A = this chain, B = another copy of it.
Amino acid sequence: MKAPGKTAVITDPLENLLGFELRRASVAVMAALSDALEPLGLRPSEASMLMIIGSNPGSTQSDVGRALRVQPANMVPIINRLMLTGSLERIPTEGRSLSLFLTEQGRALFEQVKDIFASHEKRYSRHLSDEARNELVIALRSIFWEACQGRQDNRPA
């Protein structure tokens, strides 16, 4: 039997690859965010909706979807859940468009979500200078853009 604790250390050709480090960090951050939102009964996607709608009352479902790059079909169950929990109301406007507004309960959640997002931001910026943080965001955007080139979907707005 292998000696306990003697787990083989193996060469990792992925370590140091931007794509891998990016994904690993992203998954960990989303998991942590998910934990933080759990007491509110919200998933990250729902919390993001609240952020957008709270900051842009009356925007339509498709506006919000575009902002978050969530496809129309995938907006439906997210919006539905926010409706069911009484955080959101939809008001038909022009065409088939639905304007979205937070209810009073939704606004209360929104305030809590804002705090959680802010504290997460602070947490991940902890080891970064303002300048480093800024460069990081710029680098992430350029990578996003680069990755979208030559693809149909997920294109920058």
Contact = CB atoms under 8 A, between A and B. Distances in A.
Interface stretch (A61-69, A73-81, A84-92, A101-109): A61-69
A95 interface: yes
Q: Could you say how many copies of this chain the assembly holds?
A: 2
A128 B121 contact: no
Dominant SS at the A interface?
A: helix
Contacts of A40: none
B18 A56 contact: no
Contacts of A142: 127-128
Taking residues whose C-beta sits less than 8 angstroms from the other chain, chain A's interface range is 35 or more
A28 B135 contact: no
A137 B21 contact: yes
Closest A-B pairs by Cβ, 5 of them:
A28-B147, A26-B26, A21-B140, A10-B56, A25-B144
